[in-house]
């Protein structure tokens, strides 16, 4: 059921997403394996030794920075910041980032990390919903998601809001997943495997994946008005990390299945079944870039500009 927040609009029910990130498995797993980040790393295809994992994580963030293609001092919206690692990495490269997240703990941890690093002039983190952004029209030079639209119950609405707050000529980058239609899986992808993935998506609050058949997100972007839409498939670049997770999770997953505990170990099931499905071509990791028509302005408002562009 939707609830009304203090801005007066109704927000979707994100309880499954928030519950997923608050489980002990997610908290420990993301911290131990990914240093607290919430995204995949970028590796050369066929890498067999992906360590240190932090190197691949930073490379993926560098890939995002290069895809945005914005000048130093540009104002960017991180639409789903997690604990703030990506926003801070981009800020250290010279971008000014307004970071939001629907999970209160994430927003709080992100702001604490911003303050710990003394980056308040470059990054501001707060609770926010990308379906109902609390910013004026044309507020940002760029907007990005790093594997967060998968949590959206209404991706078209989220993309519409992103388009609204983006300046003419502004750039958008989406790091997301896609897959064939559930009714048209690859021939060698067993129905049981597809059911397992649907189960993982449900338990991890990834409501948006049901909408992301091949080409669906690109069509949403085009319908909204974005131009120069490009796609890059990075599936082979995340495969080394997925393979590592599969190796680590395989034996524990057998025991989990034997005891019927799958719902308590969502990430373990995702590691094993996700890798199997990737190997069969069922899902991909893609990066979509696009531009809002028009010419980007350069008003020099800096960090204060983000704070002043909030809707009244």
Hey, which residues are catalytic here? 147
**DSSP for 46-57, written as a single string:** T-S---SHHHHH
DSSP-derived letter for residue 274 is H
- Rounded to 5, what percent of the chain is helix, strand, coil? 45, 20, 35
- Name, in order, each residue with C-beta under 8 angstroms of 229's C-beta and a sequence gap of 6 or more: 218, 221, 222, 288, 289, 290
Residue 75 CA to residue 72 CA, distance in Å, equals 9
Instruction: List phi, psi (to 5°) of 223.
Output: -60, -35
Residue 126 CA to residue 106 CA, distance in Å, equals 9
Contact 77, 140 (CB under 8 A): yes
Task: Answer left, alpha or beta for residue 225, where phi above 0 means left and psi between -120 and 50 means alpha.
Answer: left
């Amino acid at each position: 059921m939707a609830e009304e927040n203090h801005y007066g609009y109704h927000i979707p029910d994100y309880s499954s997403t928030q519950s997923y990130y608050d489980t002990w498995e997610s908290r420990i797993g993301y911290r131990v394996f990914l240093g607290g980040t919430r995204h995949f790393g970028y590796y050369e295809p066929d890498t067999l030794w992906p360590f240190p994992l932090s190197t691949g994580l930073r490379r993926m963030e560098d890939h995002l920075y290069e895809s945005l293609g914005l000048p130093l001092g540009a104002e960017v919206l991180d639409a789903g910041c997690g604990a703030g690692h990506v926003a801070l990495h981009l800020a250290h490269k010279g971008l000014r980032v307004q970071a939001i997240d629907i999970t209160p703990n994430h927003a709080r941890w992100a702001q604490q990390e911003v303050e710990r690093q003394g980056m308040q002039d470059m990054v501001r983190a707060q609770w926010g919903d990308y379906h109902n952004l609390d910013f004026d029209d044309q507020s940002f030079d760029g907007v990005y998601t790093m594997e967060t639209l998968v949590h959206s119950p209404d991706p078209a609405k989220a993309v519409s809001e992103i388009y609204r707050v983006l300046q003419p000529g502004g750039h958008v980058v989406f790091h997301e997943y896609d897959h064939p239609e559930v009714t048209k899986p690859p021939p060698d992808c067993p129905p049981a495997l597809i059911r397992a993935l649907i189960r993982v998506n449900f338990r991890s609050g990834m409501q948006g994946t049901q909408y992301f058949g091949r080409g669906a997100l690109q069509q949403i972007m085009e319908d909204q008005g974005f131009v120069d839409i490009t796609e890059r498939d990075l599936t082979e670049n995340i495969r080394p990390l997925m393979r590592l997770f599969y190796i680590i999770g395989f034996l524990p997953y057998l025991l989990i299945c034997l005891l019927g505990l799958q719902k308590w170990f969502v990430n373990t099931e995702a590691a094993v079944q996700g890798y199997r499905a990737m190997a069969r071509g069922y899902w991909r990791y893609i990066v979509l870039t696009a531009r809002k028509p028009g010419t980007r302005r350069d008003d020099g408002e800096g960090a204060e500009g983000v704070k002043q562009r909030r809707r009244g």
